[in-house]
Amino acid sequence: MQPKQWFNPKTDWWGIPVLVFFLTFLVIPLAWFAVMSFWRFDGVSYQPAFTFENFVEVFTTGGYLRAYGKTMMFSGITIGVSMLIGFPIAFFLTKVVKTFRNQMALFLIILTPFWTSYLIRTLAWVPTFGQKGVLNMVLLNLRFIDRPSEIFLYSSFSTIVAYVQLYSLFMAGPIFFSLASIRPETIEAAQDLGASKFQIFKEIIFPLSLSGIAIGAIFILTLTMGEFTTVAVIGGGKSATIGTLINNLLPYNQFPQAAANSVFLIVITSFGIYLMNRIIDIRKEL
């Protein structure tokens, strides 16, 4: 018995456009990044070579290591806070709001801020967190502070707040669809057996929402690990992440070093996704 072919052009011809798209826009660019990461930069231009100098610099330079640490910290905090915000929203829409029509109407209202530009939503925090912004003026009027605080803008705090505002929907959405898939009969059967609301949440609702939490976490992880626009606008350059460092290397033709950091960033992100899938088997939960 011959082993089954993974791709048969005669029967799987419909997959050829997908395969071409996948190779053109994902595999080839990533392979090119990997090749360029071994090239050499002589201070003026980059040259084809095969050297590990770029990767050695990543692991031995304190600035890079701190940037990776801060990037992972931002991503982890954003995932955690987004889950704390997104889960109650999804729970309210699916378990408190009874009709599907009202659920979708409220969900569309939640989507309203995302109809505007990503940059506008980011810049909107500047007049809120600035020294003469709304938050400082309120605290001054309430006499909680004596002078405008600088902690709210161009800091790690403002960066994380902007991240949560920008990406929390990517957590709430998957949780919403996971909770919506729980059949009412399952809850009713647990109630008939005498289960309390806490037991129902602990034994049914939360376990069945894990796939949505994992998918949302993967979305936020992949989006925040390479983020640099929000850090530059809201962080003011004081919160250097690996995305901003890579972006700063490009104008000086340091493409090999940028490629090495990009490859390492992909490895870290892929490992994070692998760990999430090991903790929560998404395919099994679905």
Helices then strands, counting H and E runs in the chain, come out as 17, 2
- Residue 14 pLDDT > 80, yes or no? no
Distance of CA 32 to the CA centre of its chain: 24
Using CB atoms within 10 A of its CB, is residue 170 exposed (0-12), middle (13-18) or buried (19+)? buried
What's the pLDDT band for 38 if we cut at 50, 70, 90? Answer: very high
Q: Half-sphere exposure (CA, 13 Å, Cβ side) for 101? A: 0
- Residue 2 pLDDT > 70, yes or no? no
DSSP 224-253: HHT--HHHHHHSTTSS--HHHHHHHHGGGT
Rounded distance, CA 48 to CA 148, Å? 52
- Across the range 123-127, mean pLDDT stands at 83
User: Which positions ≥6 away from 196 have C-beta within 8 Å?
Assistant: none
Residue 217: CB atoms within 10 Å = 25
**pLDDT mean across residues, the chain:** 86
Q: Are 235 and 155 in contact (CB under 8 A)?
A: yes
Query: Could you tell me which of 262, 221, 177, 192 has the C-alpha nearest to residue 74?
Result: 221
Phi, psi at residue 70, to the nearest 5°? -70, -35
- Residue 12 pLDDT > 90, yes or no? no
Report the length, in residues, of the chain: 286
Higher per-residue pLDDT: 55 or 119: 55
Please compute Rg for the chain using Cα positions: 24
pLDDT tens by residue, 230-245: 888 887 766 788 988 8
What percent of the chain has a predicted confidence (pLDDT) above 90? 34
Which CA distances in Å does 56 have to 35, 38, 173, 260? 16, 11, 40, 10
Query: Domains in the chain, start-ordered, CATH in brackets?
Result: 63-285 (1.10.3720.10)
pTM as predicted: 0.86
pLDDT tens by residue, 77-108: 999 999 999 999 999 998 888 888 888 888 88
Check residue 167 and give its pLDDT. Answer: 92
> Would you say the C-alpha torsion 279, 197, 180, 165 has a positive or negative sign?
negative
Query: Quick one: angle between helices 62-91 and 169-180, nearest 10?
Result: 40
- Residue 70 pLDDT > 80, yes or no? yes
- Across the range 178-185, mean pLDDT stands at 88
Rounded distance, CA 79 to CA 227, Å? 14
Longest dimension (CA), the chain: 82
Residue type, 262: S
Q: Are 76 and 249 in contact (CB under 8 A)?
A: no
Residue type, 211: S
Higher per-residue pLDDT: 8 or 279: 279
- Across the range 18-44, mean pLDDT stands at 88
Which of 35-49, 79-93, 185-199 is modeled with the greatest confidence?
79-93
